[in-house]
Structure 1
Amino acid sequence: MPSAQQEMIDPAPSCRDERGPASDLVDHVIKSRFACRSFSDRVVPRDLVEEVLEVARFAPSGANIQPWHVYVVTGARKDELSAVLLKAHEEARDQYRSEYQYYASPLPDPYVSRREQFGRLFYGSLGIQQWDVPARARQTARNYSFFGAAVGLIITIDRRLQVGSWLDLGMFIQNVMIAAGARGLQTCPQETFAKYHALLRGLLPITPDEMVVCGMSMGYGETGVVDTGSLMPKAAVADFAHFAGFADSADHGILTENKP
């Protein structure tokens, strides 16, 4: 279907209701999503990956510019890419830098506290002490083999675009993970691939105008890992949302509290 052709998607009847089986399924896929770091060797066919991307492409974007590009690798091509990145990580990782900065420096509260909690929970679950730099490096190295997943994605954006387009890209990436989860696949988004953009350009047809944003592992998760799910707590709605104008809640002056 030509990319310029308008596509009208008629919602299923249950999707027109406020709540129902469709919302339950969507809620389950979103809430059960986690960054899977242990995959089985079960093959993921190309048509299934294309089906995921076929759904994900309906992500919103400002003025419909759709600022995403995806490189999908599997089999021998994935193994070749992994071998190159693993070698770089083991021998010269300090020589490589991402083209963008992921975290603010310094990182303010409450974000720094959440990152520290992540470190305690994640490395603790692996039996790795936070001060054990070699062990942490070995764990990081597993990223470059896509944690054993059958499929790896490298996701890029046109470097000429501005920060608003990164918002669009984030919504697309989330769509990929939700569509994959609805089909029994697990995923892990991985910023660390951006560090080796120079090497990736020698392995994939990434143009000079493209910036490597992240990678993603995709495949069938190991049963025990999937059963465990996410270790990471999420902030309660009351911690990040303010409500005003609803009949069943007081405004508490939130619209004026910051005014002199």
Structure 2
Amino acid sequence: MKRSDTPPAMDADALRKAIEWAILSRRSVRAFLPTRVPRETVESILDVARFAATGVNIQPWRVHVVTGRAKDRICAAIQRVNDDSALDETCADEWDYYPREWISPYLERKRTVGWKLYGLLGIEKGDKERMQAQHSRNYQFFDAPVGLFFTIDRVMQQGSLLDYGMFLQNIMIAARAHGLSTCPQAAFMKYHKVISEQLRLEKTERFVVGMSLGFADFSCVENTLVTERAEVGSFTTFYSD
């Protein structure tokens, strides 16, 4: 894939609508079809995503793609630890993705999306067993055929995570152009040591996040979840004078 300042052969309105569709149709999918995704398609998505903006062009990302038996092995390794309470208690996130203290409005948003998902699945408040079972589906990539793990060199600082976010968004948007869906998963952070061992990562690599990639199974009720977004006026201030 090469850069081009010339847009595709479509009028400006059609181009705008195509871009907006890709962004607005992106959502975190939690149930996938087993349909195979060719390696060439994954490479094509990453080939587009690599043009994300980065400070002084450092391009801080490393991508580890797992499919087939390799994916099965790593899922099984994580699940073994997840199922063993003694081992599971020794696992912790390497760095803070979420705030240590939740405040409004973030706490309310977190609770709302969680209870919406559980409500769709018929999981009642206090049903910890079913909540845990649903959460554990993260570690099977929600049955997606492709799993991605993202790492970064430990020398990088917080600014590189901003770069990384743009790269991840590019992946998710480019996937929509192929009719594919994704789910970015911070849940994998807890098992970064297991992942590092399974992938034989260099000690200089820090785990960032995981992601499921595949064709969404729209027959599953969890994929009807629609999250609410704050209106532009609630987070934007315009200055003109």
> What CA distance in whole angstroms lies between the structure 2 residues aligned with 1:226 and 1:66?
38
Contact 2:91-2:190 at 8 Å conserved across structures: yes
The change in CA–CA distance for 1:13 and 1:184 in structure 2 (over 3 A counts) is closer
- Which residue identity does 2:15 align to in structure 1? A
The change in CA–CA distance for 1:130 and 1:213 in structure 2 (over 3 A counts) is farther
Structure 1 length-normalised TM: 0.86
> What CA distance in whole angstroms lies between the structure 2 residues aligned with 1:235 and 1:194?
27
Relative contact order, higher structure (CA 8 A, sep 6+): 2
Using the aligned pairs only, state the percent identity: 41
**Are residues 1:22 and 2:15 paired?**
yes
RMSD: 2.0
The change in CA–CA distance for 1:8 and 1:117 in structure 2 (over 3 A counts) is closer
Contact 1:119-1:130 at 8 Å conserved across structures: no
Aligned to 1:233: 228
Aligned to 1:221: 216
**Are residues 1:98 and 2:93 paired?**
yes
Larger radius of gyration: 1
**Are residues 1:53 and 2:46 paired?**
yes
Give secondary structure in 2 for the equivalent of 1:72: strand
Unmatched tracts of structure 2, length 5 or more: none
- Which residue identity does 2:24 align to in structure 1? K
Shift of 1:128: 1.2
**Are residues 1:36 and 2:29 paired?**
yes
Aligned to 1:127: 122
Mapping 1:1-260, distance limit 5 Å: 8-12=3-7, 19-91=12-84, 92-225=87-220, 229-245=224-240
> What CA distance in whole angstroms lies between the structure 2 residues aligned with 1:36 and 1:82?
18
Q: Deviations over 1:231-253 (max 9, x none)?
A: 211111111112222xxxxx7xx
Structure 1 stretch 38-47 or stretch 221-230: which is displaced more? 221-230
> What CA distance in whole angstroms lies between the structure 1 residues aligned with 2:138 and 2:98?
19
Unmatched tracts of structure 1, length 5 or more: 2-6, 246-250, 252-260
Structure 2 length-normalised TM: 0.93
> What CA distance in whole angstroms lies between the structure 1 residues aligned with 2:50 and 2:174?
10
